[in-house]
Amino acid sequence: MNKAIFIDKDGTLIHDVPYNVDPDRIVLYTGTIRALADLKERGYLLIIISNQAGVAHGYFEERALEAVKERLGILLGDVDIDGFYYCPHHPQGAIECYTLNCDCRKPQPGMILQAAQDFQVDLSQSWMIGDILSDVEAGNRAGCKTILIDNGNETEWEMNSLRKPTFIAKDLVQASQLILEHAWQQRWYPI
Q: Which residues are catalytic?
A: 8, 10
- The model carries a pTM of 0.94
Q: What local confidence, expressed as pLDDT, does residue 152 receive? A: 86
Alpha helix (H) ranges present in the chain? 32-41, 54-57, 65-76, 110-119, 133-142, 172-188
Number of domains the chain is built from: 1
pLDDT digits (tens, 9 = 90+) for 138-188: 999 999 999 999 998 887 888 899 999 999 999 999 999 999 998 776 665
Instruction: State which residues form the domain around 38.
Output: 3-188
pLDDT in tens, 40-89: 999 999 999 999 999 999 999 999 999 999 999 999 999 999 999 999 99
The mean pLDDT value of the chain amounts to 94
Domain CATH number, residue 25: 3.40.50.1000
List, for residues 2-17, the tens digit of each pLDDT value.
999 999 999 999 999 9
180 three-class SS: helix
